[in-house]
Structure 1
């Protein structure tokens, strides 16, 4: 990855931190919180200008005496949240209603989970996520003839241990529009295989995956812009410019070292001979670009760099031909 791209990722702030926080609450808990806010007396400092000398410009009002009541809006309904949190057997995800893509999806794989083959993707079908309100939902028709694959964020191959678990990976809330040939069916698939192979060296591997929308400099005016395609009819599903994975490779000792790796890949054709380490970035770069935080509770003395602890290289397999055999349901 070029120094310019690294600088962009490190500098950009998606402003989505508050959205990720909001995703941790259901609508019910949010309404309960709002009800508490509306019924609890608070003290608000309101600046009140005065011309009288010696009179303070700040006066303290209780909510009952303040001239405004912003929380009165909630009488008509709560505007948020803009994220839907789903906890399923195979994954936990935060779905972004604005982009119709997941904001992040977390999974856990082990050697044992990958060794069990009770699920077959031929028995799974892409489905819309009924847990998301219809007007904010990605629909099957949005991808129809769009030119993009329905790209799993948690791969179906990571959930072969159960047919029900594999079926959960086919919700559209686990999908993003991805370039097919050269990416989703090739380099990205090899990257997913790399993550699975980590379980031969680490007994527990946790992965967070999601889309990014990164700026690009316009040569016409030398300014930076975030531009991405939107698919669907009406257009409402954003096409990410990049994707990230943050990997936590855990050792055998509880409370021991954790090998961390962060990678950002463009949503574009990538030659299979491109080294994976070219896409390795500091974890802080993904945080700045996504508005998320990773491993905040993991102290520095327990952290190791994944690609210094193991060989970060891909094994090229012919996934594209194999995927052609799967029916597109």
Structure 2
């Protein structure tokens, strides 16, 4: 399993236009490529890309996600000005069996979550024996995360009668390989307030299902989920970010939008299993009811736009410059699956054309 695909988090951010409209963003030129393709653990990217400094989130040699380069806070604290402690802000790193994440203490929900999906991790591989025990969500319960300091913790009471669902950032369905892994997806540190009917229980769930189905086409699927706070233009012509805060006293912020950003890899051909083809794409959805018939293409965004809006750098320039758009590598569609609708509706498949 490749360890070359890496994701870098926490770079400079800027605002994106209101709603789900992204500005056209210019890209920085890719670094000059070396004459010899770089290799890590025998795996190279095609076309070749320059080696990059390992970012905050990367993949270990065994394919699991790992956090690195978290020394900035410690180095700052060594300053005489901060001899009595570093005030923050601090994103609490969370490492679970099925995902890694950074928790935003101010907003009381994840700043981002990251997961690595494969047929094997979803229990669908014909080459890997299924685990002896699989996760059953009926045995899981929502719970507060004691690993988060009490003053910054999201609480079960915050969601009580709030009108919002406890929305999984990493879905429970992505962690079926063990009960412990599934239980960990029910920590409130993996939740953000989401509109229930029409979003969390419907269109957002269709998008989560699409991410899982990518494992049928790609050997590795990396999924980032990012809560967003995007501005709207008010009647006076000025742009403002307005969001609700739930709890009594107010405690957990309600994102205006959510992004799913995917990076996929697969061998360029059966004869070259160590040469990977990469594809990526981003989708930004408003935290609001979305009609089932809405085409998924309406929510396609440049990855750069999501990074600027969130203040993150999800991928290096080298990865961006060598990746196709996801919809050029596979059919991008959501399949409507309403559990309360017994009719099969093939007309509800919504295809998305490849970018021009």
TM-based fold match above 0.5: yes
Which aligned pairs between 1:153-172 and structure 2 lie closer than 5 A? 153-172=169-188
Cα distance in 2, alignment partners of residues 246 and 312 from structure 1: 13
1:144 aligns with 2:186: no
Show CA shifts across 1:11-44 (max 9, x none): 8xxxxxxxx97x9676xx5664245433xxxxxx
Partner SS, residue 125 of structure 1: coil
Post-superposition offset of 1:254: 3.9
Show CA shifts across 1:263-315 (max 9, x none): 10000000111111110111111011101012215445531100121111111
Moved over 6 A (4+): 23-26
| Structure of greater Rg | 1
Partner SS, residue 258 of structure 2: strand
List alignment gaps of at least 5 residues for structure 2.
1-16, 26-54, 57-66, 124-129, 268-272, 343-356
Post-superposition offset of 1:80: 1.5
Change (3 A) 1:299 1:105: closer
Partner of 1:37: 79
Partner of 2:225: 209
Conserved in 1, the CA contact under 8 Å of 2:22 and 2:302?
A: no
Partner of 1:83: 91
Partner SS, residue 276 of structure 2: coil
1:103 aligns with 2:145: no
List alignment gaps of at least 5 residues for structure 1.
12-19, 39-70, 323-329
Hey, which of these two has a bigger chunk of helix by percent? Answer: 1
Cα distance in 1, alignment partners of residues 255 and 23 from structure 2: 14
Pick aligned residue for 1:256 from 276, 297, 300: 276
Post-superposition offset of 1:6: 5.3
Q: CA RMSD in A?
A: 2.4
Change (3 A) 1:289 1:274: same
Post-superposition offset of 1:9: 6.2
1:302 aligns with 2:310: no
Cα distance in 2, alignment partners of residues 258 and 8 from structure 1: 23
Change (3 A) 1:147 1:4: closer
Cα distance in 2, alignment partners of residues 224 and 320 from structure 1: 40
1:282 aligns with 2:302: yes
Number of residue pairs matched?
274
